[in-house]
């Protein structure tokens, strides 16, 4: 056997290629901010922008022209309180952004991040108890209310990222009772307490004001535990399960793919993005490293990839065609 025989020309290489990226599997995250006339580059995330609702048109049209039809919305509100009430305000930042996007392009598939950390004054993903601990069961009704308000505003899918136990069950029940049986849930199932969320927390102003998220997000050392998280979310009614971050957790993605017959999503997070984007910007790496890096997530077993590189990848795919 000569392995190089099939590498000799692009015809044989193309013939036996195993993994492809497709625009159908890419989700692009968008940050909507309060205010007017804002299109501001996010300092920690080169080429990513904060948009006020009135300027979302530019972003949505660019994505539509590139052939990206899936987005995930994050809201940056101007009002925060202990219970994150602006997260379920029917006139809140995410709710208005959804309606605006649907006006611009009704076919844009809109997924929303369901969490409280951007909306709470303390920056944690739930309701606090007397000793500043994050209360699990007390948080569930709030998460359900947030998911419901997103669905009512026109979200096509909701993605809870808080890591409370039983939130998938609670959100599913609430959506069903209110007539949103066909709104799927993409569960951030195996979400690790990772240092790679740093640039996002600057972008979304969502860093915890004290302590860390280790009592709810997963220990970075564990992989068996990720399988238990995923299997519980499937039992509770998740339609898609997610591993997050992606690149430092490719082993977890592969295990998930081999163990469960359900679509697997992976979140190529802000830290993973900014490191590579900056390396390409200063000429340290060739830009083909971007394709290679996102492709590795697909090869590891992810069916769906949430990535700030979606536009870069779409441009590469459009060139090839």
Question: Does 269 participate in binding ligand PBG (rule CB under 6 A)?
Answer: yes
Question: Going residue by residue from 270 to 289, which x/- string records binding to ligand PBG, judged by CB under 6 A?
Answer: x-------------------
Residues whose CB falls within 8 Å of the CB of residue 36, separated by 6 or more in sequence, listed in order: 52, 54
The residue from 36, 145, 214, 244 that is catalytic is: 244
Of 179-187, 194-202, 276-284, 294-302, the window that binds ligand PBG (rule: CB under 6 A) is 194-202
Least Å from the CB of residue 270 to ligand PBG: 3
Least Å from the CB of residue 113 to ligand PBG: 5
Of 3-11, 54-62, 102-110, 198-206, the window that binds ligand PBG (rule: CB under 6 A) is 198-206
Binding residues: 115, 117, 125, 201, 213, 229, 270, 308
Question: Does 197 participate in binding ligand PBG (rule CB under 6 A)?
Answer: yes
Question: Does 28 participate in binding ligand PBG (rule CB under 6 A)?
Answer: no
Query: Which CB, 48 or 66, lies closer to ligand PBG?
Result: 48
Least Å from the CB of residue 15 to ligand PBG: 36
Question: Going residue by residue from 199 to 238, which x/- string records binding to ligand PBG, judged by CB under 6 A?
Answer: -xx----x--------------------------------
Query: Which CB, 178 or 274, lies closer to ligand PBG?
Result: 274
Apex 230 CA angle, 226 and 232, nearest 5? 120
- Closest Cα to residue 262, out of 191, 189, 192, 193? 189
Clarify whether 209 is annotated catalytic.
no
Binding residues for Mg(2+): 229
Question: Does 32 participate in binding ligand PBG (rule CB under 6 A)?
Answer: no
Question: Does 70 participate in binding ligand PBG (rule CB under 6 A)?
Answer: no
Q: Three-class SS of residue 259?
A: helix
Question: Going residue by residue from 120 to 139, which x/- string records binding to ligand PBG, judged by CB under 6 A?
Answer: -----x--------------
Clarify whether 244 is annotated catalytic.
yes
Of 5-13, 96-104, 195-203, 275-283, the window that binds ligand PBG (rule: CB under 6 A) is 195-203
Residues whose CB falls within 8 Å of the CB of residue 234, separated by 6 or more in sequence, listed in order: 241, 260, 262
Binding residues for Zn(2+): 115, 117, 125
Tell me the three-class secondary structure of the chain, residue by residue: CCHHHHHCCHHHHHHCCCCCCCHHHEEEEEEEECCCCCEEEECCEEEEEEEEHHHHHHHHHHHHHHCCCEEEEEEECCCCECCCHHHCCCCCHHHHHHHHHHHHCCCCEEEEEECCCCCECCCCCCEECCCCCEECCCCHHHHHHHHHHHHHHCCCEEEECCCCCCHHHHHHHHHHHCCCCCCCEEEEEEEECCHHHHHHHHHHCCCCCCCCCCCCCECCCCCHHHHHHHHHHHHHCCCEEEEECCHHHHHHHHHHHHHCCCCEEEEECHHHHHHHHHHHHCCCCCCHHHHHHHHHHHHHCCCEEEECCHHHHHHHHHHHC
Name which position in 42, 63, 117, 247 contacts ligand PBG (CB under 6 A).
117
Of 165-173, 193-201, 290-298, 311-319, the window that binds ligand PBG (rule: CB under 6 A) is 193-201
Query: Which CB, 104 or 275, lies closer to ligand PBG?
Result: 275
* Helix axes of 93-104 and 56-66: crossing angle, nearest 10 degrees: 50
**Interface positions with ligand PBG (CB under 6 A):** 113, 115, 117, 125, 161, 197, 200-201, 206, 269-270
The catalytic residues are 191, 244
């Amino acid at each position: 056997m000569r392995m190089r025989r099939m590498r000799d020309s692009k015809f044989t290489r193309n013939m036996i290629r195993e993994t492809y990226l497709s625009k159908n599997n890419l989700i692009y995250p968008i940050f909507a901010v309060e205010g007017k006339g804002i299109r501001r580059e996010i300092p920690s995330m080169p080429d990513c922008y904060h948009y006020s609702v009135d300027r979302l048109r530019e972003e949505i049209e660019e994505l539509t022209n590139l052939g990206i039809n899936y987005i995930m919305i994050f809201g940056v509100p101007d009002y925060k309180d202990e219970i994150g009430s602006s997260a379920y305000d029917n006139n809140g930042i995410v709710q208005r952004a959804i309606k605006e996007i649907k006006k611009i392009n009704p076919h844009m598939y809109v997924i929303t991040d369901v969490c409280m950390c951007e909306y709470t004054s303390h920056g944690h993903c739930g309701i606090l108890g007397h000793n500043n601990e994050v209360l699990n069961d007390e948080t569930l009704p709030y998460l359900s209310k947030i998911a419901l308000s997103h669905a009512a505003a026109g979200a096509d899918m909701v993605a809870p990222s808080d890591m409370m136990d039983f939130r998938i069950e609670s959100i599913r029940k609430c959506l069903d009772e209110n007539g949103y049986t066909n709104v799927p849930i993409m569960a951030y199932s195996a979400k690790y307490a990772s240092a790679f969320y740093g640039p996002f927390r600057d972008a979304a102003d969502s860093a915890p004001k004290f302590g860390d998220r280790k009592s709810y997000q997963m220990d970075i050392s564990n992989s068996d535990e990720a399988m238990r998280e995923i299997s519980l979310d499937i039992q509770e009614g998740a339609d898609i399960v997610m591993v997050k971050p992606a690149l430092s957790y490719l082993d977890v993605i592969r295990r998930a793919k081999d163990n469960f017959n359900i679509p697997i999503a992976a979140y190529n997070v802000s830290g993973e993005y900014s490191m590579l984007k900056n390396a390409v910007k200063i000429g340290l790496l060739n830009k083909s490293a971007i394709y290679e890096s996102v492709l590795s997530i697909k090869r590891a077993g992810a069916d769906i990839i949430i990535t700030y590189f979606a536009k870069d990848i779409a441009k590469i795919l459009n060139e090839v065609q």
